[in-house]
Chain A
Amino acid sequence: MTPEQIIFIIVAVVTLTAALSVVTSRNLIHSALWLILALFGVAIFYVLLDAGFFAVIQVIIYIGAIAILFIFAAMLTRRVMQDSDPQTNSTWWLGALIAGLLFAGLALVLTNWPGLSTPASQLAGDSEKIRQLGLALVSPDHYVLPFELASILLVAGMIGAIYVAGEKKR
């Protein structure tokens, strides 16, 4: 085993443990903190995949913005669900069954797929990659339309969020 593979296994175990704690923890604040750990693990995977830019925006957007938003929301809605109340539906076994079946199906598809053993090709330099991505996002031949649509969606989402959550003056 190469050092990279050992790092992968350690990070994968930590991330999956954190993810399991997110969905099983009784206290919502604890869930949010476990979510931060899981998101950090995903950021490390981006580094292992030579996508350092994505590791950075993962930390900034997911951990810096989204996880903090979750913690705020959890604190604003405190005392509603006592930690002693049941946190799951009465049919939790059905959810577990569906998730297990989905994983079995995915594993079946993956093991039968011949493209799995392709090795990764060499990459161009790091700065070249980010430059390429930036150009592709604004060039009419590539992804300018999805990019603009995403920005409009973000603006609409932010305005909608402010309107919905804001205190209504009567």
Chain B
Amino acid sequence: MIPLAWYLIFAAVLFCIGLYGVLVRKNAIAILMGIELMLNSVNINLIAFWRYRSSQGIAGQAFAIIVFAIAAAEVAVGLALIISIYRRRNSIIAEDMNMMKW
């Protein structure tokens, strides 16, 4: 049997890699990819805790389903925004997206 700690450590490493990607990449699409990695690590945590701590209940799985739905909506809207900005400004560098800055 795999110890619960292995899953949690793995998810923590994956989350930190995703966070690094979100913080340092210039390309807005790459930032969204980092967010996807972070959401996946959270899902692993939810499923692992469900399996090891409360496998009689269903809460962990239900939350994971919601996270899936949010991830799909988030990436669809995010990429649509990026493509729209690309049409107007011809750039997908996050630093250039400053139309609302004053």
- Once the chains are docked, how many angstroms separate the CA of A5 from the CA of B7? 11
Which residues of B, 54-75, contact A by the 8 Å Cβ criterion? Answer: 55-56, 58, 61-62, 64-66, 68-75
- Once the chains are docked, how many angstroms separate the CA of A22 from the CA of B25? 11
- Once the chains are docked, how many angstroms separate the CA of A132 from the CA of B58? 7
Instruction: Say whether chain B's binding surface is mostly helix, strand, loop, or mixed.
Output: helix
Task: Encode contact with B along A89-127: 1 for CB under 8 Å, 0 otherwise.
Answer: 101101110111011001100100001111111010000
Query: Contact: A42 with B43, CB < 8 Å?
Result: yes
Interface size class of A (residues with CB under 8 A): 35 or more
Number of chain B residues whose Cβ lies closer than 8 Å to a Cβ of chain A: 70
Distance of B2 from chain A, by nearest CB (Å): 5
Chain A residues at the B interface, C-beta cutoff of 8 Å:
2, 4-5, 8, 12, 15-16, 19-20, 22-23, 28, 31-32, 35, 38-39, 42, 45-46, 48-51, 54, 57, 61-62, 65-66, 69-70, 72-74, 76-77, 80-81, 86-89, 91-92, 94-96, 98-100, 102-103, 106-107, 110, 115-121, 123, 132-133, 136-137, 142-143, 146-147, 150-151, 153-154, 156-158, 160-162, 164-165
| Contacts A/B (CB < 8 Å), 27 sampled | A19-B17, A22-B30, A23-B18, A23-B25, A23-B30, A31-B30, A42-B43, A46-B47, A51-B50, A69-B79, A70-B75, A72-B79, A76-B83, A86-B26, A87-B27, A95-B20, A99-B17, A99-B19, A106-B12, A106-B16, A117-B3, A133-B65, A146-B66, A147-B66, A154-B69, A164-B84, A165-B80
